[in-house]
């Protein structure tokens, strides 16, 4: 068991565990600390500087996302000094950021917008040069808009730390630093798996899914949690639907085995749902070789009847069962139980063994 | 046996840049021609950069003489006079051992521990170093002292890090020694990236074994298993001499396994950095050694606990380490007697800018700025008035004449708004515009920002834009306030000390030279006559005697006038290149 530690955040007594950071304990206690470069899936990074907090006894402000708690720590998450820096940071980011929220894909789900709103920053008072790069549209799935990038490094880190592909890196120095692929090669020529993990972590609209472009604002869509049907891992998905059509898929950070992570199929493989070629009813092939629509009852009865016939005539071992990796463990368990107990054979296997 | 006569040429990077190799070749040719049996040697930089190329002559029966500003064509006369006729060639003398010369103050007013051997020893010969007690400190530490005792000795000496932050070295070693890890690393930070700083290069080129010895002692004190020297690739001579030093020290058993039979082992690898200023920052340096982009990360965890490959790591600056053998050899007490209460020993400064004798100045801590600039440096070039000194490079501050009596130590400088930093001193006279100076340093920091954190990446850019428009006469009344606010938030909000100190030049120039900012903003005037958008060039007809030099050198033909008649400048054509101002020998060109 890890050690409990008492500390005070904004005059509130809290208890955390050794090794936790200030942000983690604050969130467990419903104390809000703004973040931009923080994503609990990755190692903390401490770059954006909006999570700076004051810790009693420390001269410098500490990033709450990287600073670990210590016994009897006293933390202040907001005061004039802190808020001044936060406001300046937001203004500085906005001074080099397009103000086209009206048409931005991330309107309504943008961490920068939320912070500007919260701190009442309408525009930057600094003015000055703003970058104007080209939109990077070099593949069917991911669109990159470097103008909107706030250089939080989340895409760089998720691709490196979680996906293991290491597609992006920082390029250049100073004001002209950017995030990009080696030698600016298109994503398709990189080790990219098109898992879209980078889109999932981008706090602004710099990375967007082309499959969901223009499909609707978060508040126009309906959210439904479900389990991904593609494999036995059973990742938790949130389907975003509009008029009963799935327009986007994300994964919640706080639930499921996947904790926000998805692979290319789970995240982007949803167009088949409305495909006209999709089988939606059971069908029985007639003597003429043609498939005809039927009811589940009739279809299952037919299967039962035929299998029973085979078992009666040739014995249970004449039947074998092959289960799918797309089923859950529970379903696979039930399947082998069915084969052994109901059909009466041990001829049961699983595609993942092939 | 009679000691052989000797000629020694200063061949550090500065000497080479000034033509030292050509001078050396010429001397060799001359000696051969005259069949003189004289030893010809090279050495590092003695610090008199203002008088490169430097050549020392040692002849039986004569004092040792250092000749300065030696060019290849001076060689025959020098050899003839000094070596053949036994007469000192007065015109070229810089220093004569034991005698007062005009430039003797440069060295006399210094206290040399770190630079003691620079420009004297042959840095490529380990025997030379051993001859003056080199590696005796290491022998003493390994044979008679426990690692704790070594750490205590350094702690008692009061040595503080010379890389910028001034953290007590002994305390730092204790942290690392007490941290747990399978491996431990000792790193020498030789990334020296501050504009105007070259003391580390001079030490590495002039006395590489001292740094190596200090590093091995430090390694022993903290229990390091591996060592790295992180040296910028722009210092090829330093890298070459370090490689030789490592090879020779290993050959003598000072490095490698079972050093001097003590059971302690250490290997040292040179890692060349690609010249990013930020890679001098400890955590970025570690990232760079690990092979990734050099970007700082927040501390804690400190390198002492989690450094290279997550192992305890101790990073020290070149000059810090070069002090260590002396401390062990001579004792902490002797070191602690030099300096002030909170700052012990000496500090090497690089005098550059408008100072008369630019170069390396090693002085006891607590020496005043005045003594350094006027005593060692000989005051301002061309006897112009002193205006300010920027101390500590781009992270430091700019101090005015009223503060010339500030002692240089770790307490007084920060109190005045500057820092010791790595020890760069850029001295400026009345022709320097302070807004322009601040702009210069901010241009550097903005360019070198690693881009990781917002305040530094975008904030310094915005400050730079404001400074630029002030210099162009487009400053707004609110700009001073904007600069001040940004400066405070960038200082407070940046991840590493690059951003954390970047606003210092602006803050100090605002503090001590606010009138210059105001003149630019409100009167659209540059008091130093430097900001080209705010000045116009004119010729004083009283002073102009019509020599035509300006007219002949003006790139746009803006200057016209008859020979021997006062000239005039066509403001439409003038591009403010300052050429006429530089060329006129009668002081007739002036700016408004
Ligand atoms: C941007 C930046 C650049 C630095 N560059 C150097 C450098 O070139 N050399 C150096 O010794 N220290 C440099 N430092 C300071 C080091 O981070 C570190 O404090 C020092 O090497 C520690 O050694 P010391 O304790 O012996 O001074 C730099 C710091 C920063 C923030
Ligand atoms: S889609 Fe996946 S693999 Fe491709 S860059 Fe994004 S995170 Fe990396
Ligand atoms: S693209 Fe998005 S996630 Fe990546 S660095 Fe830019 S803002 Fe951050
Ligand atoms: S302060 Fe500047 S150099 Fe340091 S981490 Fe931030 S951006 Fe990089």
User: What is the strand order of the sheet A73-76 is part of?
Assistant: A12-17, A4-9, A73-76, A52-55, A62-63
- First-to-last alpha carbon distance for chain B, in angstroms, is 69
Alpha helices in B13-87 (DSSP H): 13-17, 20-33, 75-78
What's the CA gap between B369 and A155, in Å, rounded? 50
pLDDT average, residue stretch B177-197 = 94
Could you give the CA distance from residue B77 to residue B161 in angstroms, rounded to a whole number? 46
Tell which phi-psi region holds residue A253, choosing left (phi > 0), alpha (psi between -120 and 50) or beta: alpha
The protein residue whose alpha carbon is closest to atom 16 in ligand 1 is: B281
Q: Which of B167, B279, B452 to mutate to test the interface with A (most CBs of A within 10 A)?
A: B452
Q: Is A323 in the pocket of ligand 2 (CB under 6 A)?
A: no
Structural domain spans, chain B: 6-104, 126-336, 346-429, 434-522, 536-591
Whether residues B461 and A61 touch (CB distance < 8 A) is answered with: no
CA distance B188 to B320: 9
CB-CB neighbors (< 8 A) of B460 in chain A: 174-175
Among B259, B287, B353, B360, CA closest to B319: B360
Is residue B451 lining ligand 4, measured as CB closer than 6 Å? yes
Nearest chain B residue to A87 by CA distance is: B489
B461 or B422, which is more confident: B461
- The CA-CA-CA angle for residues B356, B92, B63, to 5°, reads 110
What six digits make up the tokens of B167? Answer: 């953290």
Q: Average pLDDT of chain A?
A: 94
Residue B504 pLDDT > 90:
yes
Q: What is the pLDDT of residue B45?
A: 84
- What is the pLDDT at residue B105? 82
The Cβ of residue B453 has, within 10 Å, a number of other Cβ atoms equal to 30
Fold entry, domain B126-336: Rossmann fold (3.40.50)
Cβ(B499) to ligand 4 under 6 A? yes
Chain A residue numbers with beta carbons less than 8 Å from the beta carbon of B493 are 49, 52, 61, 85, 88-89
Task: Note the pLDDT of residue B98.
Answer: 78
* Residue B499: alpha-carbon gap to chain centroid: 21
* Nearest protein CA to atom 6 of ligand 2, as residue: A198
Residue A13 has pLDDT above 90, yes or no: yes
Q: Using CA atoms, how far apart are residues B547 and B564, in angstroms rounded to an integer?
A: 6
- Please tell me whether the peptide bond between B301 and the residue prior to it is cis, using omega within 30 degrees of 0: yes
Residue A194 distance to chain B (closest CA, Å): 24
* pLDDT for res B275: 84
DSSP letter assigned to residue A158 = I
Q: Please check the confidence at residue B459 and state whether its pLDDT lies above 70.
A: yes
Rounded Cα distance, B526 and A92, in Å = 29
For the B434-522 domain, the top CATH level (class) is mainly alpha
pLDDT computed for residue B288 by the predictor = 97
Cα separations in angstroms, A193 against A139, A166, A190, A197, B463 = 12, 10, 9, 10, 41
The verdict on a CB contact (< 8 Å) between A175 and B457 is: yes
pLDDT score of B2: 63
pLDDT value at residue B538: 93
> Is B490's pLDDT higher than 80?
yes
CATH class of the region A128-274? alpha beta
- Residue B495 distance to chain A (closest CA, Å): 7
Summarize pLDDT for B385-411 with one digit per residue, the tens: 999 999 998 999 999 999 999 999 999
Q: Which of B360, B363, B358 is nearest to B378 (CA)?
A: B358
pLDDT at A354 over 60: no
Q: Which residues of A190-219 are buried (b: 16+ CB within 10 A; e: fewer)?
A: bebebbbbbbbbbbbbbbbbebbeebbeee
For chains A and B, CB pairs below 8 A equal: 108
pLDDT at site A1:
54
pLDDT in the model for residue B1: 52
A9-26 core/surface letters (b: 16 or more CB in 10 A; e: else): bbeeebebeeebbbbbbb
Q: What is the C-alpha separation between B456 and A48, in angstroms, rounded? A: 10
Angle value at C-alpha B381, between B440 and B589, nearest 5 degrees = 80
B470–A contact, CB cutoff 8 A: no
- Measured from the Cα of A193, ligand 2's closest atom is 3
Helices (H) and strands (E) in chain B, counts: 25, 18
Mean pLDDT of B455-465: 97
B351-362 pLDDT, tens digit each: 999 999 999 999
What's the rounded Cα separation, in Å, for the pair A249 and A251? 7
Which pLDDT does position A232 carry in this prediction? Answer: 80
Q: Is the pLDDT of residue B531 over 70?
A: yes
Burial B216-249 (b: 16+ CB within 10 A, else e): bbbbbbbbbbbbbbbbbebbebbbebbebbbebb
- Residue B484 confidence class, pLDDT cut points 50, 70, 90: very high
Which residue, chain included where needed, has tokens 């007639």?
A: A286
Q: Which of residues 281-310 of B touch A (CB under 8 A)?
A: 293, 295, 297-298, 300
Locate the domains of chain A by residue range.
4-78, 128-274, 283-351
Residue appearing with tokens 């000072």: B254
Pairwise CA distance, residues B55 & B299, whole Å: 48
Structure-token match 């322009």, residue found: B436
Strand pairing class (A178-180; A62-63) = unpaired
CATH homologous superfamily of B6-104 equals Glutaredoxin (3.40.30.10)
Contact residues of A toward B, CB < 8 A: 45-49, 52, 60-63, 66-68, 81, 84-85, 88-89, 92-93, 95-96, 125-129, 150-151, 153, 169-170, 172-177
Does A244 score more than 80 pLDDT?
Answer: yes
- How much is the mean pLDDT over chain B? 94
Q: Is the pLDDT of residue A134 over 70?
A: yes
pLDDT reading at A323 higher than 60: yes
The two three-digit tokens of residue B230, written as one number: 């992180």
Contact yes or no for B454 and A49 at CB 8 A: yes
pLDDT of the residue at B285:
98
Q: At what angle do helices B169-178 and B208-222 cross, to 10 degrees?
A: 50
Between the CA of B571 and the centroid of ligand 2 the distance, in Å, is 59
User: Where residue A123 falls among pLDDT bands split at 50, 70, 90?
Assistant: confident
Within 13 A of A326's CA, how many CA atoms are on the CB side? 5
R_g (Cα) of chain B, nearest Å: 26
Among B73-77, B157-161, B192-196, B513-517, the range scoring the smallest mean pLDDT is B192-196
Q: Class of B346-429 per CATH? A: alpha beta
C-alpha closest to that of B230 among B296, B284, B174, B169: B284
CB distance B277 to B269 below 8 Å: no
Tell me which residue of A21, A204, A246 sits closest to B298, measured CA to CA.
A21
pLDDT per residue over B287-343, tens digit each? 999 999 999 999 989 999 999 999 999 999 999 999 999 999 999 999 999 999 999
Write down the residue that tokens 């890692």 correspond to: B271
pTM score, two decimals? Answer: 0.90
Alpha-carbon distance A49 to nearest alpha carbon in chain B (angstroms): 6
CB contact at 8 A, B124 and B244: yes
Whole-number Å distance between alpha carbons of B11 and B415: 39
Model pLDDT for residues A52-91, shown as the tens digit of each residue: 999 999 999 999 999 999 999 999 999 999 999 999 999 9
Q: How far is A190 from chain B (nearest CA, A)?
A: 19
Assess contact for B549 and B568: CB atoms under 8 A.
no
Distance of CA B171 to the CA centre of its chain: 26
Q: Is the CB of B284 under 6 A from ligand 4?
A: no
Three-state DSSP state, B244: helix
Tell me the three state secondary structure of residue A309.
helix
Note the ipTM here. 0.88
- CATH code, residues B536-591: 3.30.70.20
Q: Which CATH class is domain A4-78?
A: alpha beta
């Amino acid at each position: 068991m890890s050690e409990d530690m008492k500390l005070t955040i904004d005059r509130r007594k809290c208890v955390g565990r050794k090794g936790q950071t200030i942000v983690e304990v604050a969130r467990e206690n419903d104390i809000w600390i703004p973040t931009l470069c923080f994503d609990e899936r990755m190692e903390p990074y401490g770059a954006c500087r909006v999570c700076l907090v004051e810790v009693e006894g420390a001269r410098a402000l500490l990033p709450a996302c990287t600073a670990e708690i210590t016994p009897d720590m006293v933390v202040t998450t907001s005061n004039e000094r802190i808020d001044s820096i936060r406001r300046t940071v937001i203004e500085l980011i906005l001074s080099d950021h397009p103000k086209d929220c009206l048409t931005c894909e991330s309107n309504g789900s943008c961490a920068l917008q939320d912070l500007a709103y919260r701190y009442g920053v309408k525009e930057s008072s600094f003015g000055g040069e703003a970058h104007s790069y080209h939109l990077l549209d070099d593949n069917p799935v991911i669109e990159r808009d470097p103008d909107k990038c706030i250089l939080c490094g989340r895409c760089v880190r998720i691709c490196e730390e979680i996906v293991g592909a290491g597609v992006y890196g920082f390029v250049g120095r100073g004001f002209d630093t950017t995030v990009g692929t080696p030698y600016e090669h298109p994503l398709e020529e990189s080790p990219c798996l098109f898992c879209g993990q980078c889109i999932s972590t981008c706090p602004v609209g710099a990375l967007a899914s082309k499959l969901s472009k223009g499909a609707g604002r978060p508040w126009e869509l309906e959210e439904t949690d479900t389990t991904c049907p593609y494999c036995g891992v059973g990742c938790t998905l949130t389907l975003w639907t509009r008029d009963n059509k799935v327009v986007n898929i994300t994964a919640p950070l706080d639930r499921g085995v996947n904790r926000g992570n998805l692979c290319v199929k789970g995240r982007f493989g949803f167009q088949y749902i409305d495909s006209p070629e999709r089988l939606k009813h059971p069908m029985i092939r007639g003597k003429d070789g043609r498939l005809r629509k039927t009811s589940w009852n009739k279809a299952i009865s037919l299967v039962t009847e035929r299998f029973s016939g085979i078992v009666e005539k040739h014995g249970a071992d004449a039947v074998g069962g092959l289960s799918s990796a797309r089923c859950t463990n529970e379903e696979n368990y039930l399947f082998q139980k069915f084969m052994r107990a109901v059909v009466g054979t041990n001829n049961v296997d699983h595609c993942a063994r092939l | 046996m009679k000691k052989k006569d000797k000629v020694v040429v200063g061949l550090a990077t500065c000497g080479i840049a000034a033509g030292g190799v050509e001078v050396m070749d010429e001397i060799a040719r001359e000696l051969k021609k005259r069949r003189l049996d004289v030893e010809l040697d090279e050495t590092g930089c003695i610090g008199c950069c203002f008088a490169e190329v430097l050549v020392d002559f040692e002849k039986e029966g004569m004092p040792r003489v250092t000749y300065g500003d030696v060019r290849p064509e001076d060689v025959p006369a020098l050899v003839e006079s000094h070596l053949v006729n036994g007469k000192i060639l007065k015109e070229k003398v810089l220093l004569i051992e034991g005698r007062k010369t005009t430039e003797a103050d440069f060295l006399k007013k210094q206290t040399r521990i770190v630079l003691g051997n620079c420009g004297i020893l042959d840095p490529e010969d380990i025997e030379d170093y051993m001859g003056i007690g080199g590696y005796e400190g290491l022998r003493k530490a390994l044979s008679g002292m426990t690692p704790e005792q070594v750490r205590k000795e350094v702690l008692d000496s009061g040595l503080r890090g010379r890389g910028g932050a001034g953290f007590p070295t002994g305390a730092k070693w204790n942290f690392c020694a007490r941290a747990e890890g399978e491996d431990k690393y000792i790193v020498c930070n030789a990334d020296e990236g501050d504009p105007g700083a070259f003391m580390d290069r001079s030490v590495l080129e002039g006395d590489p074994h001292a740094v190596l010895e200090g590093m091995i002692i430090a390694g022993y004190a903290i229990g390091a298993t591996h060592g790295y020297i992180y040296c910028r690739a722009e210092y090829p001579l330093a890298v070459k001499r370090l490689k030789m030093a490592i090879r020779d020290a290993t050959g003598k058993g000072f490095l490698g396994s079972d050093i001097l039979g003590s059971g302690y082992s250490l290997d040292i690898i040179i890692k060349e950095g690609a010249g990013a200023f930020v890679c001098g920052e400890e955590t970025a340096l570690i990232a760079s050694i690990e092979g990734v982009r050099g970007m700082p990360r927040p501390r804690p965890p400190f390198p002492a606990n989690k450094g290279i490959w997550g192992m305890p790591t101790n990073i020290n600056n070149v000059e810090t380490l070069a002090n260590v053998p002396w401390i062990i050899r001579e004792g902490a007490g002797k070191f602690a007697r030099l300096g002030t209460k909170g700052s012990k020993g000496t500090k090497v400064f690089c005098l550059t800018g408008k100072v008369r004798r630019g170069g390396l100045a090693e002085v006891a801590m607590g020496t005043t700025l005045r003594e350094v600039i006027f005593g060692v440096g000989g005051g301002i070039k061309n006897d112009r008035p002193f205006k300010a000194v920027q101390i500590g490079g781009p992270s430091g501050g700019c101090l005015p004449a009223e503060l010339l009596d500030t002692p240089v130590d770790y307490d007084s400088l920060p109190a005045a708004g500057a820092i010791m930093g790595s020890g760069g001193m850029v001295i400026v006279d009345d022709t320097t515009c302070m807004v322009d100076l601040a702009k210069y340093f901010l241009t550097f920091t903005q360019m070198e920002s690693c881009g990781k954190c917002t305040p530094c990446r975008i904030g310094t850019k915005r400050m730079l834009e404001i400074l630029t428009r002030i210099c162009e006469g487009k400053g707004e009344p609110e700009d001073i306030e904007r600069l001040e606010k940004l400066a405070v938030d960038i200082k407070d909000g940046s991840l590493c000390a690059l951003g954390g100190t970047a606003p210092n030049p602006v803050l100090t120039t605002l503090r001590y030279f606010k009138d210059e900012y105001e003149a630019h903003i409100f009167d659209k005037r540059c008091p130093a006559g430097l900001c080209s958008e705010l000045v116009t060039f004119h010729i004083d007809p009283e002073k102009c005697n019509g020599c035509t030099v300006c007219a002949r050198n003006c790139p746009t033909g803006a200057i016209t006038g008859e020979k021997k008649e006062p000239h005039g400048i066509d403001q439409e054509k003038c591009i403010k290149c300052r050429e006429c101002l530089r060329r006129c020998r009668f002081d007739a060109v002036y700016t408004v």
